[in-house]
Amino acid sequence: MPDQQEADDTMHRTSGFAATDPAIYYDAMRPALSTGRPPLVLVHGAAHTGSCYLQTPDGRKGWAQQFAALGYPVLVPDWPGVGRSGRMNFSELTGAVVCRAFGGLIDSLDEPCVLLTHSMSGAYGWRLVETHGDRIRGVIGVAPSPPGDLEPVPPILERGDDYVVIRRGAFERRVDLLQPTPFDDDLVENKLIGGGGQFPRDFLTAYKRSLGAAPPRLSYERSNIEGSQLHITDTAPNRCWLFPPSMTGTTRRIMTGRWLPGSATSVPNRPTGTCPTRGSPATAT
């Protein structure tokens, strides 16, 4: 139920907790006048909250406001157990739990939505298409993680009581089993920001301070350790998504922060430094 409301001549904004299991916090922005365009659900990635879609580190309007200004109702939830959704036992916070909560949010909408996922949430989007395909018109993956079917299972180099060390590509990585995984400076610089030149570097320190840590089980699954990442068992719903007429010509993919014309597709391979905090998704029509 919404607990806060704002309005101006063009947009209504509400926020509150959704009656999902577990409960999740969300912001909603709706055009003051109906445009007939489908709702967008913007899902953040690891170490972030939904606030990354509300404002850039240097104070510019986020994607949520920009989409709403174009006539799209927008919902921006936090993962369960993260950010404003409140705490939950980390041992119980799995990808399946995240999908259950977001599935409940999608079911509560008056019409099918377009789902935009970022980074670690990519795998949740593919699962939601499988479980809630009749409630999802399309998926936009922003540097999305693949499902466990496509993600290689990394070799375990070392195992302790509360950690494992794995090899991913040419790198070794420690994954804690009980504690959240923080994003160190190297990860922020090379994974989140990259070298594209779009990030407002004068606000880098503030951005780093805003980041949280990835819950342990979700980090474990993201690396597909012992095949733990969410798998897709029915691939048919994931083979083709067609946008409704109101979104025709809007987007083909968001992989470099740029909109391209065409129908909706998503590429699972992640390029360096594609992050919603950079700013404008350009001009959609």
Q: What is the pLDDT averaged over residues 213-240?
A: 89
| 145 belongs to a structural domain | yes
Q: Give the structural domain span for 249.
A: 2-149+230-278
Give me the sign of the Cα torsion angle 246, 32, 56, 181: negative
| 111 belongs to a structural domain | yes
pLDDT at 247 over 90: no
* 153-167 pLDDT tens trace: 999 999 999 999 999
Q: Between 180 and 241, where is the model more confident?
A: 180
pLDDT at 218 over 80: yes
| 162 belongs to a structural domain | no
Q: Taking a C-beta distance cutoff of 8 angstroms, is the pair 156, 225 a contact?
A: yes
DSSP 282: -
pLDDT at 171 over 60: yes
Q: Which residues contact 211 (CB under 8 A, 6 or more apart)?
A: 47, 48, 183, 188
pLDDT given for residue 233 in this prediction: 86
| Tokens, residue 71 | 């006539």
| 161 belongs to a structural domain | no
Q: How many domains does the chain have?
A: 1
- β-partners of residue 156 are 166
Q: What is the pLDDT averaged over residues 228-242?
A: 75
Q: Quick one: pLDDT band at residue 214, thresholds 50, 70, 90?
A: very high
CATH value at residue 19: 3.40.50.1820
| 257 belongs to a structural domain | yes
pLDDT at 2 over 90: no
| 198 belongs to a structural domain | no
| 165 belongs to a structural domain | no
What is the spatial distance between Cα 59 and Cα 261, in angstroms, rounded to a whole number? 29
Q: Quick one: pLDDT band at residue 195, thresholds 50, 70, 90?
A: confident
- Following DSSP, what letter does each residue of 102-128 receive, concatenated? HHHHHHHSSS-EEEEEEGGGHHHHHHH
| 84 belongs to a structural domain | yes
User: To the nearest whole number, what is the mean pLDDT of the chain?
Assistant: 84
What is the spatial distance between Cα 145 and Cα 139, in angstroms, rounded to a whole number? 13
What is the spatial distance between Cα 195 and Cα 94, in angstroms, rounded to a whole number? 32
Q: Is 223 helix (H, G, I), strand (E, B) or coil?
A: coil
Q: What is the pLDDT averaged over residues 70-98?
A: 96
